[in-house]
Chain A
Amino acid sequence: MKNGVPILQIHGLDAGIEGKTILKDFHMMVRAGEVHAIMGPNGSGKSTLAKVLAGDAHYEVTKGTVLYKGQNLLALPPEERALRGVFLAFQYPVEIAGVSNAAFLRMAYNSKRKHDGKSEVDPLEFEEFLLEKIKVVDMKEDFIRRSVNHGFSGGEKKRNEIMQMAVLDPLLAVLDETDSGLDIDALREVAAGINKLRRPDNAMILITHYQRLLDYVKPDVVHILSNGRIVKSGPASLALELEKKGYEWISH
């Protein structure tokens, strides 16, 4: 564990969807400079946590608090959370026909600049900036002119999430199964992208089902989630142990 300032503090969180409680008395603390991995079987509450942090209205919080930089995150609408530096890389990125990646990202980037009291950038300036950023995920230039995720392969969608993260430069990034559906080459490139964005002043939560992403992105802490609670936390080696013993190991 490092001694950065706390970025995220979750206390006694109960949350769920359609009346069903999924996260139960969930606790977590993430400091600047840390990468936390959350592992768990399907249905353990990994994605619920991601959606609750991003502010998806389908999910309800019934108990507990979430502090982001000491402030109540749950009171903020999704766009306000993003403007303050929270980013969710979606497990299933949404396809948006008719809106180009460049136009969409410029809008998002300018919203953030405006929020930070900076001047907005024009399309040409932004294109230059974007062409730098697509190098993070090693994509071709036409990537930025295509409609957002529309007709993208699974791997392209995940790279697009990481590119968006590079553009928006969040303080807290939550990556929801960014490794799922990737072949080994794509996984390596996406992981390289994540490592490039890792800094002492920001933090990441990697949500994953498998250990393999953690071969490339080394976490400071690994948490094992089961039935909506963290049942075990430990160093990076915990992921390897879990891989060996399987999820049955923690369910008893």
Chain B
Amino acid sequence: MSGFRIDSSLPQGIQLEETAEGATLTVPERGMFDLLIPIGVRAKNAKLRVVTGATSRVRLVLDYELEAGLEATFELGAGAFMDVFHLERQKRDKALSSINKYLLKKHASLNVWTFASGGPACIAHDVKFLEPHGFASVHGLSLLGESTNVVHRVTADHAVGHCASRQFYKSVLSGHARSAFESLVQVAKGADKTDSKQLNKNLLLSKDAVATSRPELSIHADDVACAHGSATGELRKEELFYLRSRGIAETDARLVLTEGFAMEALEDVPEIPLKAELVELLKLKIAELAA
């Protein structure tokens, strides 16, 4: 009824409230360590609120089903750790819309991964630091073929100082696929010692694929370290030649280089069983795109 399929065997202490409007998950202070909660998002306009207590630690896997659409808010308590995986891997007729807000209290640490191999979709992650000493890393990987279009909108609002944010997005595109990385880091007046990095890299496997990249910065403080960059291109000829000069056939060389490019986006995924699944998924999809 709430538009979700949430693992019903939630451990003690975690509260789940479901109404027709949506669901709220509450993780208490010092909540379970390394807890992974799979959530299927089944309905359009599903609303999710996740509230985690101080120093809690939780992992969420949001798996978008065919009719999915999400508006979610994640509130991280002081010193809380949260990993959130967004898996968008089904080819759909109508575009998926997923809008996510993350609110971080002091010393909270957030990691978000978005894996998009279905589409079309628009997936937004808006991070806001409410208190100092927060850390947020937002990663994305798009593997798209045919005429799929996926838009990633990523923002980090450094309303206070002494926080660090990272955005690292990669895409591999074949056919007529398109991806967009629209990113903004805002640093408020007085938010000194802000540390941010935005990086987007795109690999085009066909001449009709298009990647657009806009890593933007808006800085109103003086003492900050903010870096942004973007690179889009084809497989490098020197890398291909290097592999071929070791006896690897050209088609295999292309495949292994494309896999390697994409794999970098999963490097920071913790060693949990989900990682092996994602690596498998990545290999299957790359084989399809490189064919």
Contacts of B238 in A (CB 8 A): 94
Q: How near does chain A come to B203, taking the closest CB pair, in angstroms? A: 11
Contacts of A82 in B (CB 8 A): 244-247
Specify which of B239, B244, B249 is in contact with A96 (CB 8 Å cutoff).
Answer: B239
Query: Across the interface, do B259 and A99 meet the contact criterion of CB distance under 8 Å?
Result: yes
Interface residues on B, range: 20 to 34
Q: Is B263 on the interface with A (CB-CB < 8 A)?
A: yes
Contacts of B237 in A (CB 8 A): 57-58
Q: Is B252 on the interface with A (CB-CB < 8 A)?
A: yes
Specify which of B236, B245, B257, B267 is in contact with A99 (CB 8 Å cutoff).
Answer: B257
Q: Is B250 on the interface with A (CB-CB < 8 A)?
A: yes
CB nearest to B266 among chain A residues? A98
Query: Across the interface, do A94 and B239 meet the contact criterion of CB distance under 8 Å?
Result: yes
Query: Across the interface, do B249 and A88 meet the contact criterion of CB distance under 8 Å?
Result: no
Q: How near does chain A come to B128, taking the closest CB pair, in angstroms? A: 32
The docked-state distance in angstroms from the alpha carbon of A121 to that of B262 is 26
Specify which of A98, A105, A107 is in contact with B264 (CB 8 Å cutoff).
Answer: A98
Q: Is A79 on the interface with B (CB-CB < 8 A)?
A: yes
Q: Is A202 on the interface with B (CB-CB < 8 A)?
A: no
CB nearest to B241 among chain A residues? A56
Chain A residues 90-111 with CB under 8 Å of chain B are 90, 93-94, 96-99, 103-105, 107-108, 111
Contacts of B257 in A (CB 8 A): 96, 99
Between A57, A78, A105, A115, the greatest number of chain B beta carbons within 10 A of the residue's beta carbon is seen for A78
Query: Across the interface, do B248 and A90 meet the contact criterion of CB distance under 8 Å?
Result: no
Q: Is B61 on the interface with A (CB-CB < 8 A)?
A: no
Q: How near does chain B come to A101, taking the closest CB pair, in angstroms? A: 11
The docked-state distance in angstroms from the alpha carbon of A148 to that of B23 is 46
Q: How near does chain A come to B197, taking the closest CB pair, in angstroms? A: 17
Query: Across the interface, do A90 and B242 meet the contact criterion of CB distance under 8 Å?
Result: yes
The docked-state distance in angstroms from the alpha carbon of A168 to that of B247 is 9
Specify which of B236, B246, B253, B263 is in contact with A168 (CB 8 Å cutoff).
Answer: B246
CB nearest to A108 among chain B residues? B246
Q: How near does chain B come to A160, taking the closest CB pair, in angstroms? A: 11
Contacts of B245 in A (CB 8 A): 54-55, 78-79, 81-82, 87-88, 90
In the complex, besides A99-B263, A147-B260, 13 extra interface pairs with C-beta distance below 8 angstroms are A55-B244, A58-B237, A78-B241, A79-B247, A82-B247, A94-B238, A96-B243, A97-B261, A98-B261, A99-B259, A104-B246, A107-B256, A164-B246
The 4 closest A-B pairs by CB, nearest first: A98-B260, A82-B247, A99-B260, A108-B246
